[in-house]
Amino acid sequence: MSSARVEKLLQSMTPAEKIGQLIQYFYFRLPERGDPSMVPPGQVEAVEAALAAGRAGSLLFVTDPATSNRLQRQAIAGNRHGIPVLFGFDVIHGLRTIFPVPIALAASWNPELIEQSQAVAAREARAVGIHWAFAPMLDIARDPRWGRIIEGAGEDPYLGSVVAAAQVRGFQGPHLGADEHIIAGPKHFAGYGAALGGRDYDEVDLSDQELWNTYLPPFKAAIDAGAGNVMSAYMDLNGVPATGNRWLLNDILREALGFEGFVVSDANSARDLAAHHYAADLTDAGARALNAGLDLEMAILDPAFEHLDEALENGQVDIERIDTSVRRLLSAKEALGLLDDPFVDEQAAQTVLNDPAHRETARKAAEESAVLLRNENDLLPLTGIGSVAVLGQMANSKRDTLGPWIFDYDLEETVTVLEGIRAHAAGLETPVEVTYAPGVPSPVRLFPSMFDMWGDGSKTDENFDSEAELSRAVEIATAADVAVVVVGERQDMIGETASRSTLDLPGEQLALLQAVVATGTPTVVVLMSGRPLDLRWAEANTPAILQVWYPGTRGGEAVANLLFGQAVPGGKLPFTWLRHVGQVPMHYAHTRSHDPSKQDRRYWDEESTPLYPFGFGLSYAKFAYSNLAVSSSSTPVDGVVTVSVDVTNTSGRDGNEVAQLYLHQRYGTASRPVRLLKGFRRLHLRAGQTERVEFAVTAEERRYWSAATRDWVLDATSFDVWVGGSSTADLHTEFTVTD
Ligand code: GLC
């Protein structure tokens, strides 16, 4: 329901002015290190001309408050009604304070922490004049070859839904338009993570049951949490481009999920309906996107919506449909207070951006996101050592520590793993000597990343003396009490247009690891990645493996705290960690299908089980689960069963654990997954402490969409229940559901 003010404004606008509100342009301002040749010639001039002509309702990629105010003045002067523009941006994991990448935040399994993190990001964004985040990215990813797995919450719809709602709360605050908060824009609607072959942008074919049971639930959670925007996806979904797909953008998004905000396209994805060979030309593309349910077109140049005047004249669209979109955009601007005060306080912005409390939140998030994959003989935490050798280029790379999808960061203040270890070691009662060597040259991509425009691509050093450097690495490893080898994918090898055909450690990193292990010095692998990489050799030959993702501005400090025990790892995997790329796609929530007893022998040439299961993660503490109980052994179909369990920290040190609840439906209208996550709680338990945890299993946790009835069902059936510290939990009970 729109306000009288919006209605009055709408009634006073001409069709051309209305169409001008439905176009969003990139506004590129590259840093010194950027590559201006990658910006289409004349793009900036075209955008400023559009502003002056009242033909731009929104801009993206403006992060400087003074530029924001200047462009806002141009926009207001450019239309009769003084309507300001809406500034959107990719606030994915922080703006100036960089948080661990989204897949890392998901690995914390801590909704409160995730909400806090995105609230900090929102505060910094709003301070510089950004009104809206193109986040959270909610695409379920079950093919780790797809680089954008890093931007979401992994393979599971339940975890993805909890994370989605937490992010929306963090961005938007108590209500849409709240001070120091911004509009959340869940993306990419929908199914983008199932790209054929893991190749970014390639087509997606998903059954209705996959869409309803796996790919749509996080979007439902975000919409239920009040998200003000949704972004459509690039690719064809079941043969129809998502951005021109009325079934998706209207029947599902509006009618089934109840979304009332505005829909923006992905970059150029509306004009690209012609490139898909779906629309005949840009006029057809704009008309079909609008009629499908698109409200705002994100474009670099020459938007399809520039042709809506023609589509209006030739009857392809009607003014009522245009009014609906303009109403949604004006309502968003009104909710943010932009119709009264669209400007930003340029002085106050710097104070907010430099708030040290933000960096503390980022460090805490990095500590809670790390996942300890292996710790033979409790090599970690490091105690009683006199020296540590740190190996690998990524240990010393500020840009890799931050990860992809950032633009306004402060590189100098970023703490690398090497810097973090050095600072920590120097501060110990008995200082520890720290040595460093890169060991092997940096791996590089086959072709530049799309983000090279910002000058962020990883480059190898032409003068790198491989033989001498590897010898030096072996020499310092031999001399040290412990070696910490930092390996993984460079930050431009993961993310958008960063799909891979293998999951190997890129370049010569495995050779470095093998050379260091061959010295006999106890070796810790610190992994920086956003997807599961092939760790079979490391798992068989190194005692400790810590996945730290891309830990952000204070990442090195957090990693040092974890390695030396000042922080205790408690993260859990948000995806299945495969042994080998040949197992793709593999996820834990598969059905029993035929001959389930041989589920672990589906390939004759490789284990068919994961290297590490979904939900897995070790700690320096040890946890035991006991006294699993259900409140009732049976319940009516719309009833609630409470599952409760004792979780005990049986170690002598405080620690964090994520208690996870999994269900399996034994029979019913459809075959159901062997296990499905339906509850979790992150716990901080002191040494020896026991906490009793309860999970409510309602009809919501048991309902699913069935391909047999092509509708939602609640079966009268029996359920297995497991609770534990990963998806392989073996503490079991059961209950039945009666008609
Ligand atoms: C990109 C991405 C989308 C992002 C948008 C604006 O191509 O697909 O996630 O928000 O363009 O940068």
Q: What is the largest CA-CA distance in the chain?
A: 80
Residues 56-62, mean pLDDT to the nearest whole number: 98
Q: Using DSSP bridges, classify how beta strands 297-299 and 23-26 pair: parallel, antiparallel or unpaired.
A: parallel
> For a substitution probing ligand 1, which of 26, 90, 92 has the most ligand atoms within 8 Å of its CB?
90
- For position 132, what pLDDT does the model report? 98
Contact 338, 21 (CB under 8 A): no
Q: What is the DSSP letter of 596?
A: G
Contact 79, 109 (CB under 8 A): no
For ligand 1, what atom is nearest to the CA of residue 188? Answer: 9
- For position 453, what pLDDT does the model report? 86
- Which segment of 82-86, 276-280, 598-602, 710-714 scores lowest on mean pLDDT? 598-602
Residue with CA at minimum distance from ligand 1 atom 6? 267
Residues 691-699, mean pLDDT to the nearest whole number: 98
**121: closest CA among 101, 141, 150, 142?**
101
Are residue 441 and residue 538 in the same domain, yes or no?
A: yes
Are residue 350 and residue 362 in the same domain, yes or no?
A: no
d(CA 684, CA 59): 43
d(CA 419, CA 562): 14
Looking at every residue in the chain, the average pLDDT score rounds to 97
Distance 382 CA to ligand 1 centre (A): 41
The verdict on the CB of residue 156 being under 6 Å from ligand 1 is no
Residues 526-549, mean pLDDT to the nearest whole number: 98
The domain of 511 spans 357-575
Say yes or no to pLDDT of 254 above 90. yes
Distance 78 CA to ligand 1 centre (A): 27
Look at the block and give the residue holding tokens 């897949």: 103
Say yes or no to pLDDT of 160 above 90. yes
d(CA 259, CA 263): 9
Residue with CA at minimum distance from ligand 1 atom 8? 266
> For a substitution probing ligand 1, which of 59, 134, 268, 300 has the most ligand atoms within 8 Å of its CB?
134
Residue with CA at minimum distance from ligand 1 atom 1? 267
The verdict on the CB of residue 210 being under 6 Å from ligand 1 is no
Q: How many CA atoms within 13 Å lie on the side-chain side of 268?
A: 9
- For position 14, what pLDDT does the model report? 98
222 domain residue, yes or no:
no
Residue 568's pLDDT band, with cuts at 50, 70 and 90, is very high
For ligand 1, what atom is nearest to the CA of residue 137? Answer: 9
The verdict on the CB of residue 139 being under 6 Å from ligand 1 is no
The verdict on the CB of residue 267 being under 6 Å from ligand 1 is yes
- Kindly tell me the burial class for residue 164, based on how many C-beta atoms sit within 10 Å of its own C-beta (0-12, 13-18, 19 or more): buried
229 domain residue, yes or no:
no
Distance 650 CA to ligand 1 centre (A): 46
Token code pair at residue 246: 């009325």
- For position 456, what pLDDT does the model report? 82
- For position 697, what pLDDT does the model report? 98
Are residue 346 and residue 362 in the same domain, yes or no?
A: no
d(CA 403, CA 720): 40
d(CA 361, CA 371): 18
d(CA 326, CA 18): 6
Residue with CA at minimum distance from ligand 1 atom 12? 90
Residue 621's pLDDT band, with cuts at 50, 70 and 90, is very high
Distance 42 CA to ligand 1 centre (A): 21
CATH of the domain at 7: 3.20.20.300
Residue with CA at minimum distance from ligand 1 atom 11? 267
CATH of the domain at 380: 3.40.50.1700
- For position 536, what pLDDT does the model report? 98
Say yes or no to pLDDT of 54 above 90. yes
Distance 185 CA to ligand 1 centre (A): 11
Look at the block and give the residue holding tokens 């930003």: 344
DSSP string, 88-146: EE--SSBSSSBPPPHHHHHHTT-HHHHHHHHHHHHHHHHHHT--EE---B------TTS
Q: Give the chain's length.
A: 739
Distance of CA 665 to the CA centre of its chain: 30
Structural domains of the chain, count: 3
Are residue 350 and residue 365 in the same domain, yes or no?
A: no
The verdict on the CB of residue 215 being under 6 Å from ligand 1 is no
Give me the residues paired with residue 189 across strands: 232
For ligand 1, what atom is nearest to the CA of residue 151? Answer: 9
Give the rounded percent of residues in the chain with a pLDDT score beyond 70: 100
- For position 619, what pLDDT does the model report? 98
**273: closest CA among 286, 264, 263, 262?**
286
- For position 9, what pLDDT does the model report? 98
Residue 452's pLDDT band, with cuts at 50, 70 and 90, is confident
Contact 206, 237 (CB under 8 A): yes
d(CA 116, CA 186): 18
518 domain residue, yes or no:
yes
237 domain residue, yes or no:
no
The verdict on the CB of residue 151 being under 6 Å from ligand 1 is no
Look at the block and give the residue holding tokens 């002598």: 652
Looking at 575, 596, 615, which one is the last position of a domain?
575
Distance 133 CA to ligand 1 centre (A): 11
61 domain residue, yes or no:
yes
Strands (E), 240-294: 240-241, 262-264
Residue 723's pLDDT band, with cuts at 50, 70 and 90, is very high
This prediction has a pTM of 0.98
Look at the block and give the residue holding tokens 């089934």: 256
User: Amino acid identity of 207?
Assistant: S
Residues 433-459, mean pLDDT to the nearest whole number: 91
Residue 32's pLDDT band, with cuts at 50, 70 and 90, is confident
The verdict on the CB of residue 266 being under 6 Å from ligand 1 is yes
Distance 697 CA to ligand 1 centre (A): 37
For ligand 1, what atom is nearest to the CA of residue 234? Answer: 8
Residue 616's pLDDT band, with cuts at 50, 70 and 90, is very high
Are residue 657 and residue 726 in the same domain, yes or no?
A: yes
Residues 218-232, mean pLDDT to the nearest whole number: 98
The verdict on the CB of residue 187 being under 6 Å from ligand 1 is yes
- Which segment of 23-32, 165-174, 533-542, 706-715 scores lowest on mean pLDDT? 23-32
- For position 559, what pLDDT does the model report? 98
d(CA 522, CA 531): 26
**Start-to-end C-alpha separation, the chain:** 40
Distance 395 CA to ligand 1 centre (A): 29
101 domain residue, yes or no:
no
Q: What is the CA radius of gyration of the chain?
A: 26
Residues 6 or more apart whose CB falls under 8 angstroms from that of 19 comprise 55, 305, 306, 308, 309, 312, 322
Residue with the larger pLDDT of the pair 716 and 29? 716
Are residue 529 and residue 659 in the same domain, yes or no?
A: no
Residues 464-490, mean pLDDT to the nearest whole number: 98
Say yes or no to pLDDT of 1 above 90. no
> For a substitution probing ligand 1, which of 266, 406, 454 has the most ligand atoms within 8 Å of its CB?
266
> For a substitution probing ligand 1, which of 27, 137, 496 has the most ligand atoms within 8 Å of its CB?
496
d(CA 512, CA 429): 31
Q: Distances from the Cα of 584 to the Cαs of 141, 245, 420, in angstroms?
A: 11, 28, 35
Residues 201-206, mean pLDDT to the nearest whole number: 98
209 domain residue, yes or no:
no
Looking at 575, 604, 637, which one is the last position of a domain?
575
The verdict on the CB of residue 90 being under 6 Å from ligand 1 is yes
- For position 461, what pLDDT does the model report? 87
CATH of the domain at 668: 2.60.40.10
Distance 266 CA to ligand 1 centre (A): 6
The H-assigned helical ranges of 495-574 are 509-518, 536-541, 555-564
The verdict on the CB of residue 91 being under 6 Å from ligand 1 is no
Look at the block and give the residue holding tokens 């509306």: 270
d(CA 278, CA 286): 12
The verdict on the CB of residue 134 being under 6 Å from ligand 1 is yes
Model pLDDT for residues 109-152, shown as the tens digit of each residue: 999 999 999 999 999 999 999 999 999 999 999 999 999 999 99
Residue with CA at minimum distance from ligand 1 atom 3? 266
Q: Is 251 a catalytic residue?
A: no
Host H or E run for residue 374: strand 371-375
Contact 99, 552 (CB under 8 A): yes
Look at the block and give the residue holding tokens 């962020």: 456
Q: Distances from the Cα of 295 to the Cαs of 552, 592, 653, in angstroms?
A: 34, 43, 54
Model pLDDT for residues 381-416, shown as the tens digit of each residue: 999 999 999 999 999 999 999 999 999 999 999 999
Residues 619-631, mean pLDDT to the nearest whole number: 98
Are residue 492 and residue 367 in the same domain, yes or no?
A: yes
Considering 139, 200, 236, 266, which one is annotated as catalytic? 266
Give just the sign of the alpha carbon dihedral 291, 292, 296, 299: negative
- For position 31, what pLDDT does the model report? 86
Are residue 628 and residue 540 in the same domain, yes or no?
A: no
d(CA 391, CA 713): 54
Residue with CA at minimum distance from ligand 1 atom 7? 267
Are residue 481 and residue 546 in the same domain, yes or no?
A: yes
d(CA 643, CA 65): 51
614 domain residue, yes or no:
no
Q: Using DSSP bridges, classify how beta strands 58-60 and 86-89 pair: parallel, antiparallel or unpaired.
A: parallel
Residues 538-552, mean pLDDT to the nearest whole number: 98
Host H or E run for residue 724: strand 718-724
Are residue 386 and residue 486 in the same domain, yes or no?
A: yes
Say yes or no to pLDDT of 529 above 90. yes
Residue 586's pLDDT band, with cuts at 50, 70 and 90, is very high
Looking at 575, 590, 615, which one is the last position of a domain?
575
For ligand 1, what atom is nearest to the CA of residue 185? Answer: 10
Token code pair at residue 330: 């004006």
DSSP string, 405-467: S-SS--TTTPPPHHHHHHHHHHHSSS--EEEEE--SPPP--SS--GGGGGT------TT--HH
The verdict on the CB of residue 262 being under 6 Å from ligand 1 is no
- For position 455, what pLDDT does the model report? 86
Distance 461 CA to ligand 1 centre (A): 30
Residues 167-187, mean pLDDT to the nearest whole number: 97
Are residue 350 and residue 369 in the same domain, yes or no?
A: no
- For position 15, what pLDDT does the model report? 98
**491: closest CA among 462, 529, 543, 522?**
529
Are residue 439 and residue 568 in the same domain, yes or no?
A: yes
Distance 35 CA to ligand 1 centre (A): 19
